[in-house]
Amino acid sequence: MNIRKIKSTENTPKELLLLADPSEDIVNDYMDRGMCYIAEEKDEIVGVFVLLPTRPETLELVNIAVTEEKHGKGIGKKLVIEALKKAKTKGYKTIEVGTGNSSLGQLALYQKCGFRIVGIDIDFFTRHYSEEIFENGIQCKDMIRLAQDL
Ligand code: COA
């Protein structure tokens, strides 16, 4: 698998980005400002992640997604590890990520990759998303904020 920055002339993998974030408006907003990386296997895009500088020395992993047929094969973990490496190489000191209270697999993945829970943005999803989101039988209401020093 090869991970590389997407070229400005290439189309962004919209469907994949929307897997991680159902709001097209929010995705479009950070795609204009963020750094988008894609993972390819034999010229086929299997994953994506987006890093967005948010404050001096801090960036946020604002999107990460793997094609559904490839879930559970370790690609997501490789992408998170690569995102950490890229952030460190670029001189950032802190990386943050946010996920839903109902996103149990994502919470496991981020913590396995060294992130710690640093806060909760109560009602983030009920305030910013028009549709109700349910995962694992739990309504997604709050954003769990995680971070790690690089
Ligand atoms: N409990 C415990 N561990 C879990 C878990 C659960 N419910 N669900 C996943 N994990 C663990 C896996 O066991 C694995 O850890 P391990 O390597 O120690 O076994 C780790 O999380 C990640 O597994 P991996 O196979 O690398 O993940 P993936 O390739 O399926 O990618 C996502 C993970 C989240 C990127 C993928 O599921 C996805 O694209 N989801 C849709 C988009 C999305 O939700 N993005 C994140 C938005 S916050």
Q: Which fold has domain 2-149?
A: Aminopeptidase (3.40.630)
- What digits encode the pLDDT tens for the residues 101-119? 999 999 999 999 999 999 9
Provide the pLDDT for residue 22.
Answer: 82
Contact yes or no for 36/28 (Cβ under 8 A): no
> Alpha carbon of 44 to those of 48, 134, 148: distances in Å?
12, 30, 31
Q: 47: pLDDT confidence band, cut at 50, 70 and 90? A: very high
- What is the atom index within ligand 1 of the atom nearest the CA of 100? 48
Mutate to test the pocket of ligand 1, among 41, 96, 97, 109 (most ligand atoms within 8 A of CB): 109
Residue 121 amino acid letter? D
Q: Spell out the domain ranges in the chain.
A: 2-149
How far, in Å, is the centroid of ligand 1 from the Cα of 81? 13
Positive or negative, the Cα torsion across 80, 70, 98, 18? positive
How far, in Å, is the centroid of ligand 1 from the Cα of 107? 8
- pLDDT value at 124 more than 90: yes
- pLDDT value at 48 more than 90: yes
- pLDDT value at 43 more than 90: no
- What is the atom index within ligand 1 of the atom nearest the CA of 136? 7
Q: Is the pTM of this model over 0.75?
A: yes
Provide the pLDDT for residue 23.
Answer: 84
Ligand 1: residue whose CA is nearest its atom 7: 105
How far, in Å, is the centroid of ligand 1 from the Cα of 9? 30
Determine the Cα–Cα distance for residues 56 and 53; give it in Å rounded to an integer.
8
